[in-house]
Amino acid sequence: MKHIQILGAGCPKCTQLAENTTAAAQHLGIEYTIEKVTEIDRIIEFGVMMTPALVVDGKVVASGGVPSVDEIAELLSAPSPSTEKGSRP
């Protein structure tokens, strides 16, 4: 299951990123959870300086803009760091 986080204060771009991400995940048919992170302290912990940002399984994969549904689908299709060959738990 992918854990997806949308980082941002709830602006229109943040909302669009959440919608695009949901559409991409549903299109791929993957199991996922989405969490909207709006607290600035938590956003800063990710090292993000521009929102909105997209985090997949704890890794920031996009920030400062709104990727298309197709671009997000490609990001979600990438192997998680914990499932890559040769990685350690």
Catalytic residue selected from 3, 11, 44, 81: 11
**14 is known as an active-site residue:** yes
**85 is known as an active-site residue:** no
Find all residues with CB under 8 Å of 34, minimum gap 6, and list them: 4, 5, 6, 18, 21, 22, 25
Compute the distance between CA of residue 82 and CA of residue 89 in angstroms, rounded to an integer.
Answer: 6
Catalytic residue selected from 4, 6, 7, 14: 14
Active site residues: 11, 14
